[in-house]
């Protein structure tokens, strides 16, 4: 998509979406080239929005209802979307490939189950993020990199879950499911995915958030984002 085809979204609304991202996601977005920024921000903002829905829903059923709205919206053409939702407006930059993001909604819905979560639920979450990364490759015209993007998304999800889940058994299961993805490289347009994965793996190895925010982590992000290794 060229700049002239970019979705109509105000700078203030875009800034709100950026500010909704976790720190690591904002850092990863820095390495998106201009031609890929809108699509990448839309994906990261959707992931953050779905996570927020789960955290702020008192009952699993309420979270599931809210997730169902997003699943239904992603199953529609962009022309059917209501006005006034900045995230949907930005998702128009996906040029019809947004349907692939329904798997991300399924992944977050799997996290509404009773604790401790099963290995199947964690697999669904990992696959959902992986499919979302693969859909981003399609949206950016990089379909030949779908498999690499999917592997990065799965690995990011499992490393992230292994750090954040509340039950030790859940964290152990996530670690067991994690698959090595060393050597997976992608083109410049998809480098933010490498940053996300690399910092999640580093955070897990260090055992705390400094693994993603220290000066050494910033250098790692720069190397992954600019050089791809």
DSSP code per residue over 105-118: HHHHHHTTSPSSPP
Query: 2 pLDDT exceeds 50?
Result: no
How far, in Å, CA of 134 to CA of 147, rounded?
A: 7
How far, in Å, CA of 107 to CA of 169, rounded?
A: 19
How far, in Å, CA of 59 to CA of 112, rounded?
A: 9
Task: Let me know how many helices (H) and strands (E) the chain has, helices first.
Answer: 12, 0
Cα 123 to chain centroid, rounded: 15
Identify the H or E element spanning 171.
helix 168-177
pLDDT tens-digit map of 167-179:
888 888 888 887 6
Range of the domain at 148: 22-227
pLDDT tens-digit map of 79-124:
999 998 999 999 999 999 999 999 999 999 999 998 899 999 999 9
The reply to whether 5 falls in a domain is no
The reply to whether 112 falls in a domain is yes
Q: Report the number of distinct structural domains present in the chain.
A: 1
The reply to whether 10 falls in a domain is no
Give, as one character, the DSSP assignment of residue 78. Answer: G
User: At 163, is the pLDDT very low, low, confident or very high (cuts 50, 70, 90)?
Assistant: confident
The reply to whether 15 falls in a domain is no
The reply to whether 40 falls in a domain is yes
The reply to whether 97 falls in a domain is yes
The reply to whether 208 falls in a domain is yes
The reply to whether 16 falls in a domain is no
Is the four-CA dihedral 34, 183, 212, 155 of positive or negative sign?
Answer: positive
Model pTM score: 0.91
């Amino acid at each position: 998509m060229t700049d002239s085809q970019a979705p109509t979204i105000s700078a203030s609304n875009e800034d709100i979406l950026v500010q909704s991202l976790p720190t690591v996601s904002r850092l990863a977005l820095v390495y998106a080239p201009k031609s890929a920024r809108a699509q990448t921000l839309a994906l990261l903002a959707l992931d953050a929005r779905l996570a927020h829905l789960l955290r702020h829903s008192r009952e699993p059923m309420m979270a599931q209802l809210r997730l169902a709205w997003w699943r239904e919206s992603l199953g529609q053409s962009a022309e059917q979307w209501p006005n006034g939702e900045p995230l949907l407006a930005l998702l128009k930059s996906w040029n019809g490939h947004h349907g692939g993001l329904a798997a991300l909604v399924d992944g977050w819905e799997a996290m509404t189950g009773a604790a401790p979560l099963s290995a199947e639920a964690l697999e669904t979450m990992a696959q959902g993020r992986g499919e979302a990364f693969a859909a981003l490759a399609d949206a950016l015209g990089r379909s030949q990199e779908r498999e690499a993007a999917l592997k990065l998304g799965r690995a990011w999800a499992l490393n992230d879950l292994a750090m954040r889940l509340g039950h030790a058994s859940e964290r152990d299961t996530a670690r067991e499911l994690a698959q090595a993805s060393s050597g997976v490289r992608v083109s410049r347009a998809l480098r933010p995915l490498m940053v996300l994965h690399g910092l999640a793996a580093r955070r897990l190895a260090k055992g705390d958030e400094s693994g993603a925010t220290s000066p050494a982590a910033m250098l790692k992000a720069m190397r992954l984002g600019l050089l791809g290794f």
